[in-house]
């Protein structure tokens, strides 16, 4: 039992470090339109990511870097913890051998009524700026931006097809301000426990 408590404290401490490392600028990014019809908010903010708590088997289908038609498929596992009474969620993503791929940290920002979804890769330890968003009409839509070679790219991550035993996350990118989107990553989650 002590190792579970120690692990939870370690994860909560890591979440605090990640949020501190991102700085105030990342927490105040401009919101971007996702060109979706307005809808009622179906999430309550606090607790929106509770569906993700538990153990998961994950299937990835990701567009190979530098290509537009070569897809790579892989499997992984994840353990997701509900923290801060539903104001946070911490995901540990693992390779099939148990080694870590990375960590997702999601935190509810009550002043903005949005979630900040951060990702850190085990390969480099860099905390990416968050994708920020909310759950509308049963989907969680999250947007971030990045400048690459003088071009402003938007990235959109979407949580959908949420059931008690499964869900899906997919990502697309846009270099025209969100007018068009190109899919580059699909992840199907199946609950183990």
35: CATH: 2.40.128.20
H or E segment to which residue 29 belongs: none
pLDDT digits (tens, 9 = 90+) for 75-110: 999 999 999 999 999 999 999 998 999 999 999 999
pLDDT digits (tens, 9 = 90+) for 124-157: 999 999 999 999 888 999 999 999 899 999 999 9
| Total tally of structural domains belonging to the chain | 1
pLDDT band at 187, cuts 50/70/90? very high
Say what the pTM is: 0.79
Q: Which residue has the tokens 């692990």?
A: 7
pLDDT digits (tens, 9 = 90+) for 6-27: 444 444 444 444 444 433 333 3
Q: Per this entry, what is the length of the chain?
A: 193
Rg of the chain in Å (alpha carbons): 16
- Cα-flanking dihedrals φ and ψ of residue 170, to 5°? -140, 155
For residue 184, give its domain range. Answer: 2-191
């Amino acid at each position: 039992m002590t190792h579970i408590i120690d692990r939870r404290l370690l994860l909560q401490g890591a979440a605090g470090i990640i949020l501190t490392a991102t700085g105030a600028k990342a927490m105040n990014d401009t919101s971007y339109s996702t060109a979706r019809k307005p809808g009622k908010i179906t999430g309550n903010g606090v607790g929106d990511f509770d569906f993700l708590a538990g153990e998961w088997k994950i299937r990835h289908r990701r567009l190979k870097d530098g290509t537009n038609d070569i897809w790579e498929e892989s499997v992984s596992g994840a353990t997701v913890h509900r923290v801060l009474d539903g104001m946070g969620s911490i995901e540990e993503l693992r390779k099939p051998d148990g080694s870590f791929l990375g960590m997702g940290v999601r935190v509810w920002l009550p002043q903005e009524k949005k979630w900040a979804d951060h990702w850190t890769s085990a390969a480099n330890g860099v905390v990416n700026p968050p994708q920020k968003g909310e759950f509308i009409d049963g989907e969680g839509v999250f947007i971030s931006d990045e400048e690459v070679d003088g071009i402003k790219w938007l990235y959109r991550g979407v949580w959908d097809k949420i059931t008690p035993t499964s869900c899906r996350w997919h990502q697309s990118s846009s270099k025209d301000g969100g007018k068009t989107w190109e899919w580059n990553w699909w992840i199907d989650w199946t609950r183990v426990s």
